[in-house]
Chain A
Amino acid sequence: MLRNYLLTSLRNLYKNKLYTIVNLLGLTIGLSCVMLISLWILEQYSFDNFHPNGDRIYRVLENQYYSDGFVLTTSATPGQLAASLKTNWPEIALSSRVTWGDEKLFKVDNKVFKEKGYHADPDFLRIFNFPVIAGEGADALEEPGKILITTKMAEKYFGHTDVVGQMIRVDNEREVQIAGVMADVPDNTSFKFDFLLPLKDYEKNNDWLKNWNSNGIRTFLMTTPQSPNLNEIPDLKEYLKTVSDQDNADLLFQGLADMYLRYDYKDGKYQGGGRITYIRLFAIIALFIILIACINFMNLSTARASTRTKEVGIRRVSGATRGMLIRQFLGESLLLSIFAGVFAVVLVQLSLPAFNELFDAHIYLDFSKVGVWSLLLGITLLAGFLAGSYPAFFLSRFQPIEIFNKLGKQGKGANWFRKGLVVTQFAIATFLIVGTMVIYLQMNHIRHQNLGFQKENFIYMPVNGTLWDKYDLVKTELTNLPGVQSVSASNGLIYQWGNNTSSVSWPGKDPEASILFQTIPVELDFMETIGADLVDGRDFSAAFPADSTNFIVNERAAEMMGLQQAVGERITVQGDEGQIIGMVKNFRTNSLHVEQEPVILMHRPWKNFIFARLNTDDTQQTLGQIEKILATHNPAYPFEFSFVDKEYEKLYRTEARVGTLSRLFAILSIFISCLGLFGLATFTAQQRTKEIGIRKVMGASISQLSTLLSGEFLKLVIVGFVIAAPVAWLVMHDWLERFVSHIELSWWIFIMAAVLSISIALLTISLQTIRAASINPVKALRYE
């Protein structure tokens, strides 16, 4: 019996090659997308899930409430918090501070490289599961002078991992002893590092860690097994107020599992977003795509039902029950989906490198894992069942007498169902087209947004080693280069300054007011170098020695202080009094997701980055000259630089990726939909051959006939559009609201999407309809 079914199925697939190819291609593409997306989602969910006590691990967040209603939620915490919490709260078993990620220069013999790692307290290795292979573990982080490195780093510098006890030179200034070797850090972790240094090391150069009012380091906690959720302890929430002057702040504890997926706070509360949004989005897209592919199968199978009814009749007369027939047809669709599944796995395997590259993912198909097999097989079989269920019930429904009596006739019900499916497909496709267009336009909008500074031809270089001591000399030499227009320096990056303070007072300030200002220490020529415009007053100048205590504010700061004439007023920032000597036009100090911040610029000597504005046609040559100058003055460090415009794009990396992905999936879903439409058009044209012949003899021209045939499909595409448009409007409107500055959803986007989907559909079916319309009526009407 099974053999009989299999043979009939295979022959059927072979005999109807077009039908088989259309289904196979659609299902293969659909399955590959779903497999890729599923693997990606699994990878996302696996982040930070390898720590055995994950449910007891928290990251400390702080909510700071300002008088203008703004609430800053930050993971930057005071340096004293970790130890204090552990000492005073029995619920908290372990606590560790961790820096944000440090780049250090390492040297062993003549091997010199920069590596990324953290400074952390000993508890870091007790809270998190980063196994130490050899030597000391957590204890190595107790006192300065020791370091833990990964296997990878050991191999890189020593060629082997037997390195415990060896010395390694850090930042060209001191030797530390390798106390232990750790296993390499997995890809799916929020902590990416190749070395760990004791936090005490960091403390030496960062006195602010002792200050309860300075937020600047991350705090992680592990509770005792008996402890309730930390957020349920009211006094703990208010703890900061009891130990520090931070009376506008409270604490929040984010579970480890949420750290990667659910970081999205506004007004001090979790807003439901974060990476999880994109996981949901792509899960829906995956569902859409497989649905479209399955719809193709359903459509073509039911459309072709007339060619199978005779077989059904004969089988029923020969004693087959309906159940047997259902099993047979389901088996057929499963067979097809298994073929497609095999192709899809190959396709996934081939496209994984590109996918990983594009989305910074580390997915691979590990065939040794049962989970991977069951995932792939599960998706495949599910698609087969989904696609095959309706046709199976539809085909097996026929009664033999009916079939033999009116062979080739079908009920109108199936027709409606089929039309509904085509409408669904094109509604989804249109939705994706609109979404893709809106994302693209918005990204474009951001790229061409007036940022208040010129991000092109603009580079920055980190200040390494002793470079800062020679800043004036370096600046003079750089400025003398023909390709360099101006040079300045600051302590932060152009879009990530990082220093906030509410300790600012100005004339007429409401004593209750607390407003968070961005403070940026800058060097001379800052305005010219970043390309910002002064609205009033002047830039810092060497001609005015008093400028070392003076300030420049941006328009937003002046506005928030309520100063009509800001220039000339005296203000106090973090205890230092000075005069406002200039007002600068607002320039972006963060991403367009957030509101423009109030900014105070000051001329202080604490700098991490040198900026240079280039003015050259030969960027490579100029960069070469800059490198030479830096190499002369700072020989221990390799030359590092970045283009600001490139770095700026990274702020919107998530959106850009979503844009690329949605574009890809929109194209694929359109393609699969068209594939189905093509098959359906072919079949309909075949079925209507006789009618076309008659109409032709009656005098219809080819164009009239093509219009007739295409018209019916076009109606479906248009209905699909009408359904999709409002949904797309709502969803995209919502998405755009995330940006402070965004494009308007204008009607022409929808018109374009409609024109696009209609013309693509038309193109797909025109080949078939024109061919059908060109048929020789004599052949069409030949008597049987």
Chain B
Amino acid sequence: MIKLIDLEKSVRTGLNRAWILNQVNLEIKAGEFVTIMGPSGAGKTTLLNIIGMLESPTGGEYHFLDEPVHRLNERKRHDIHKQYMGFVFQAYHLIDDLTVYENIETPLLYRNVKGKDRKSIVADILDRFSIVAKKDLFPDQLSGGQQQLVGVARAVIHKPRLLLADEPTGNLHSKQGEEIMELFRELNEEGVTIIQVTHSEKNAEYGSRIIEIVDGNIRTDEQVRKSASVYGTK
């Protein structure tokens, strides 16, 4: 599904060039649940953003479903992004002025889904995430966990093939975090490819593969052995 070859991201700071990502080679197959870990500033989020087509790499190749993304124009990239990807943020990023229902509906509006269809799709997901009762509330009337639930619902409402999550449980306490991760596992089992960035060993265990990034490079890339945590540094 995703193939990165010698991917680079650099920024110019004065006369110097600083590499955020350097020579990243990575292949992710459909159906995987990948966790990206690493210390702060290692380039995890940048990598996630590049995969999510929110940022462009400065060098190397990025193939998504055999399309050479690095050669596509903005419009085409936007279309792929719109069709295949869903995002979950650490800070939820719900629109304050919209209700839960309207927030979840937003992605459908941008995909020209008809009104009647929208209603049933949103109703389904509200039901599935057990937040029907909350549908007319505004984000600031919800707890953090509930807000993130809405965030996830919004991210998957248009049935993306790839779900990208940047520290999805970073602002939640452990109980709420577990709920979200359980949800991720379910989605993964239904066939959604997931890439998450996290600092939490526990969250990583929900995934099938862990990639550790240090200083813009992939240091380790291993399948998760379901028995124990061997990366325990924290």
Given contacts A777-B54, A778-B49, contact A699 B82 (CB under 8 A): yes
Q: Mark A685-728, 1 if CB is under 8 A from B, else 0.
A: 00000110111011111001000000000000000000000000
Q: Which residues of chain B are within 8 angstroms of A690 by Cβ–Cβ distance? A: 93
Contact A783 B87, beta carbon cutoff 8 Å: no
How many residues on the A side are at the interface (Cβ–Cβ under 8 A)? Answer: 16
B136, chain A: closest CB distance, angstroms: 18
- The chain A residues found within 8 Å of chain B, CB to CB, are 690-691, 693-695, 697-701, 704, 776-778, 781, 783
Q: Which residues of chain B are within 8 angstroms of A783 by Cβ–Cβ distance? A: 90-91
A334, chain B: closest CB distance, angstroms: 35
Q: Which residues of chain A are within 8 angstroms of B90 by Cβ–Cβ distance? A: 783
Q: Which residues of chain A are within 8 angstroms of B97 by Cβ–Cβ distance? A: 691
Q: Which residues of chain A are within 8 angstroms of B78 by Cβ–Cβ distance? A: 699, 701
Contact B89 A691, beta carbon cutoff 8 Å: no
Nearest A residue (CB) for B107: A698
Contact B111 A699, beta carbon cutoff 8 Å: yes
What are 6 A-B residue pairs whose CB atoms fall within 8 Å in the complex? Answer: A694-B93, A695-B106, A698-B87, A699-B158, A701-B78, A776-B55
Q: Is B18 an interface residue (CB 8 A)?
A: no
In the bound assembly, the distance between CA atoms of A699 and B95 in angstroms comes to 14
In the bound assembly, the distance between CA atoms of A464 and B90 in angstroms comes to 96
In the bound assembly, the distance between CA atoms of A695 and B94 in angstroms comes to 9
Q: Which residues of chain A are within 8 angstroms of B94 by Cβ–Cβ distance? A: 694
Contact A699 B91, beta carbon cutoff 8 Å: no
Given contacts A691-B95, A778-B49, contact A697 B110 (CB under 8 A): no
Q: Is B118 an interface residue (CB 8 A)?
A: no
Q: Which residues of chain B are within 8 angstroms of A778 by Cβ–Cβ distance? A: 49, 54-55
In the bound assembly, the distance between CA atoms of A701 and B107 in angstroms comes to 11
B110, chain A: closest CB distance, angstroms: 4
Contact B87 A697, beta carbon cutoff 8 Å: yes
Q: Is B3 an interface residue (CB 8 A)?
A: no
Q: Is B154 an interface residue (CB 8 A)?
A: yes
Nearest A residue (CB) for B171: A783
Q: Is B81 an interface residue (CB 8 A)?
A: yes
Contact A698 B91, beta carbon cutoff 8 Å: no
B70, chain A: closest CB distance, angstroms: 17
Contact B110 A704, beta carbon cutoff 8 Å: yes
In the bound assembly, the distance between CA atoms of A778 and B46 in angstroms comes to 9
Q: Which residues of chain A are within 8 angstroms of B106 by Cβ–Cβ distance? A: 695, 698
Q: Which residues of chain A are within 8 angstroms of B91 by Cβ–Cβ distance? A: 781, 783
Which of B49, B55, B96, B110 sits near A698, CB closer than 8 Å? B110
In the bound assembly, the distance between CA atoms of A321 and B80 in angstroms comes to 57
Q: Which residues of chain B are within 8 angstroms of A699 by Cβ–Cβ distance? A: 78, 81-82, 107, 110-111, 158
Nearest A residue (CB) for B98: A691
Q: Which residues of chain A are within 8 angstroms of B154 by Cβ–Cβ distance? A: 698
Which of B54, B96, B111, B158 sits near A697, CB closer than 8 Å? B54
In the bound assembly, the distance between CA atoms of A700 and B87 in angstroms comes to 13
Chain A-chain B contacts (Cβ-Cβ < 8 Å), number:
42
Q: Which residues of chain A are within 8 angstroms of B52 by Cβ–Cβ distance? A: 697
In the bound assembly, the distance between CA atoms of A527 and B210 in angstroms comes to 104
In the bound assembly, the distance between CA atoms of A777 and B82 in angstroms comes to 14
Give the top 6 A-B pairs by smallest Cβ distance, nearest first: A699-B82, A699-B110, A698-B107, A694-B93, A700-B110, A697-B87
Q: Which residues of chain B are within 8 angstroms of A697 by Cβ–Cβ distance? A: 52, 54, 87, 93
Q: Mark B44-77, 1 if CB is under 8 A from A, else 0.
A: 0000010010110000000000000000000000
A717, chain B: closest CB distance, angstroms: 21
In the bound assembly, the distance between CA atoms of A698 and B154 in angstroms comes to 8
In the bound assembly, the distance between CA atoms of A781 and B52 in angstroms comes to 14
In the bound assembly, the distance between CA atoms of A287 and B82 in angstroms comes to 51
Q: Which residues of chain B are within 8 angstroms of A701 by Cβ–Cβ distance? A: 78, 110
Nearest B residue (CB) for A701: B78
Nearest A residue (CB) for B155: A698
Nearest A residue (CB) for B82: A699
Q: Mark B98-131, 1 if CB is under 8 A from A, else 0.
A: 0000000011001100000000000000000000
Contact B81 A695, beta carbon cutoff 8 Å: no
In the bound assembly, the distance between CA atoms of A697 and B78 in angstroms comes to 10
Nearest A residue (CB) for B97: A691
A637, chain B: closest CB distance, angstroms: 79
Given contacts A777-B54, A781-B89, contact A694 B110 (CB under 8 A): no
Q: Which residues of chain B are within 8 angstroms of A700 by Cβ–Cβ distance? A: 110
Nearest A residue (CB) for B46: A778
Q: Mark B160-179, 1 if CB is under 8 A from A, else 0.
A: 00000000000000000000
Contact A694 B95, beta carbon cutoff 8 Å: yes
Q: Which residues of chain A are within 8 angstroms of B87 by Cβ–Cβ distance? A: 697-698
B51, chain A: closest CB distance, angstroms: 13
Nearest A residue (CB) for B49: A778
Contact A695 B54, beta carbon cutoff 8 Å: no
Identify the interface centre among B97, B106, B158: most chain A CB within 10 Å of its CB. Answer: B106
In the bound assembly, the distance between CA atoms of A783 and B40 in angstroms comes to 13
Nearest A residue (CB) for B106: A698
Contact A695 B49, beta carbon cutoff 8 Å: no
Q: Which residues of chain A are within 8 angstroms of B89 by Cβ–Cβ distance? A: 781
A454, chain B: closest CB distance, angstroms: 63
In the bound assembly, the distance between CA atoms of A776 and B87 in angstroms comes to 15
In the bound assembly, the distance between CA atoms of A752 and B148 in angstroms comes to 49
Contact A781 B93, beta carbon cutoff 8 Å: yes
Which residues of B, 154-212, contact A by the 8 Å Cβ criterion? 154, 158
Q: Which residues of chain A are within 8 angstroms of B158 by Cβ–Cβ distance? A: 699
| Further 15 A-B residue pairs, CB within 8 A, beyond A694-B93, A781-B93, A783-B90 | A691-B97, A694-B94, A694-B95, A695-B110, A697-B52, A698-B107, A698-B110, A698-B154, A699-B111, A700-B110, A701-B110, A704-B110, A776-B55, A778-B49, A783-B91
Q: Which residues of chain B are within 8 angstroms of A695 by Cβ–Cβ distance? A: 95, 106, 110
In the bound assembly, the distance between CA atoms of A701 and B112 in angstroms comes to 12
A649, chain B: closest CB distance, angstroms: 57
B100, chain A: closest CB distance, angstroms: 14
In the bound assembly, the distance between CA atoms of A408 and B2 in angstroms comes to 41
Nearest A residue (CB) for B56: A776
Which residues of B, 29-52, contact A by the 8 Å Cβ criterion? 49, 52
In the bound assembly, the distance between CA atoms of A694 and B139 in angstroms comes to 14
In the bound assembly, the distance between CA atoms of A690 and B89 in angstroms comes to 13
B121, chain A: closest CB distance, angstroms: 14
B33, chain A: closest CB distance, angstroms: 21
Nearest B residue (CB) for A777: B54
A303, chain B: closest CB distance, angstroms: 16
Q: Which residues of chain B are within 8 angstroms of A704 by Cβ–Cβ distance? A: 110
B223, chain A: closest CB distance, angstroms: 30
In the bound assembly, the distance between CA atoms of A690 and B154 in angstroms comes to 16
In the bound assembly, the distance between CA atoms of A693 and B96 in angstroms comes to 13
B189, chain A: closest CB distance, angstroms: 25
Identify the interface centre among A698, A704, A776: most chain B CB within 10 Å of its CB. Answer: A698
In the bound assembly, the distance between CA atoms of A777 and B54 in angstroms comes to 7
Nearest B residue (CB) for A693: B93
Q: Which residues of chain A are within 8 angstroms of B55 by Cβ–Cβ distance? A: 776, 778
Q: Which residues of chain B are within 8 angstroms of A693 by Cβ–Cβ distance? A: 93
Q: Which residues of chain A are within 8 angstroms of B49 by Cβ–Cβ distance? A: 778
